[in-house]
Amino acid sequence: MTFEEICKKIKKKHFAGIYYLTGEETYFTDKITHLLDENVLDISERDFNRDILYGNETQAGHILNGCKSFPLMAERRLVIVKEAQAVDTKHWEKMLSYFQKPSPSTVLVLAFKGKGKGLPKAAVKAIEENQGVIFEAKKMYDKDVIKWVTTHIAEAGFDSEAGVSEVISGHLGTNLHLIENELEKIFIYLSGSKDKKITKNLLFEMINIDKEFNVFELNKALSIKDNARSHFIIHRLTGNLKTNPSVLTISSLFRFFSDIAAVYSYKVSDVKGIQESLKVNWYAAQDLAAARQRYPLIKVYHNILHIQEADLMLKGINPTDQDEEDVLKTLIWKILN
């Protein structure tokens, strides 16, 4: 069952007995958990019929007590186990009989976080056989985030200028919680305006992105090997690392040169061919086409290695005497030479 299908059923008050939520992308598991918390019980029913437990403080007995208790002046009970990955496996084994025969008057939510974190196979099988909901929130990559942003804007009833989703993803990374919060500010602003279209100029104003000196302008300058502008932009970006975190700059550069490598693998060089093959917008395709002409494939691979090395330095994995600003400035020099 998809995220959208699960949410639709919850909003219609069609609840499963057990929700097993797991995966790396916590935005989706958090959303489903919150939606269940809002819909399973009315506000007046929550005091006596809702248990919220945390994995590092929870054992099988605590969960079972909540699940097996009868609802008080309500149709059902709600038991939510947050950070469920912290519960010792032996406690899940003790709950196997419950997973095999869950209480018809209880909604149990098990919210795990992290790759490879989850229930034993026997428990998963039991939940599945009893029509429980099993949902894995897989890690979102840059292209997934761009698509999600576009859909999120459309579902909110707004239009967006070409390239808006890419700008948001490039500046805010893959943190969907952060992206959603920033978009909500824009939605509120536009709701009081006649114009319902999100433009890049509006983003630059409301999300504190420098219109002239951002990661997209850096990629554009690098694509045509404009040495002076590339170094000037990185100087401006590193002048305020709080607004322009190095992790986002590194992520943008890695994505850009990975896309150039993909252009080579698809054996395309024209803008239209790149746009269709990589599913990018016209502006990004123009930059990739320009870079394809100036960076041989071997140099593209070398640049990806340089970016990865800089990333390890910034994370403190590879020791260096350089500070954050110097690491990024040196990286741009290496990319261009």
pLDDT in tens, 109-159: 999 998 778 899 999 999 999 989 999 998 888 788 888 999 999 999 999
| Same domain (yes/no): 223, 303 | yes
pLDDT in tens, 11-38: 999 999 999 999 989 999 999 999 999 9
How much is the pLDDT for 223?
95
Residue 208 lies in a domain: no
| Same domain (yes/no): 75, 173 | no
The CATH number of whichever domain residue 30 belongs to comes to 3.40.50.300
| Same domain (yes/no): 10, 103 | yes
Residue 203 lies in a domain: no
Residue 199 lies in a domain: no
Residue 210 lies in a domain: no
Task: From residue 175, give the alpha-carbon distance in Å to each of 28, 79, 150, 186, 247.
Answer: 11, 28, 15, 17, 12
How much is the pLDDT for 227?
92
| Same domain (yes/no): 53, 94 | yes
* Token pair listed for 83: 């950070």
How much is the pLDDT for 211?
67
| Same domain (yes/no): 132, 22 | yes
Per-residue pLDDT, averaged over 199-208, amounts to 83
The CATH number of whichever domain residue 288 belongs to comes to 1.20.272.10
3-state secondary structure the chain: CCHHHHHHHHHCCCCCCEEEEEECCHHHHHHHHHHHHHHCCCHHHHHHHEEEEEHHHCCHHHHHHHHHCCCCCCCCEEEEEECHHHCCHHHHHHCHHHHHCCCCCEEEEEECCECCCCCCHHHHHHHHHCCCEEEEECCCCHHHHHHHHHHHHHHCCCEECCCHHHHHHHHHCCCHHHHHHHHHHHHHHHHCCCCCEECHHHHHHHCCCCCCCCHHHHHHHHHCCCHHHHHHHHHHHHCCCCCCCHHHHHHHHHHHHHHHHHHHHHCCCCHHHHHHHHCCCHHHHHHHHHHHHHCCHHHHHHHHHHHHHHHHHHCCCCCCCCCHHHHHHHHHHHHHC
| Same domain (yes/no): 7, 116 | yes
| Same domain (yes/no): 237, 309 | yes
Residue 201 lies in a domain: no
Chain-wide mean pLDDT for the chain? 91
Residue 46 pLDDT > 90: yes
How much is the pLDDT for 215?
87
Structurally, the chain folds into a number of domains equal to 3
| Same domain (yes/no): 122, 171 | no
| Same domain (yes/no): 293, 227 | yes
Residue 179 lies in a domain: yes
Residue 207 lies in a domain: no
How much is the pLDDT for 324?
92
Residue 111 lies in a domain: yes
Q: Percent of the chain beyond pLDDT 90? A: 67
Q: Percent of the chain beyond pLDDT 70? A: 99
| Same domain (yes/no): 80, 184 | no
| Same domain (yes/no): 233, 250 | yes
Residue 312 pLDDT > 80: yes
Nearest residue to 255 (alpha-carbon basis) of 308, 212, 295, 205: 308
User: What is the domain range of residue 220?
Assistant: 215-336
Long-range contacts of 149-153 (CB under 8 A, 24+ apart): 149/179, 149/183, 152/179, 152/180, 152/183, 153/183, 153/198
Confidence of residue 170 (pLDDT cuts 50, 70, 90): confident
| Same domain (yes/no): 222, 317 | yes
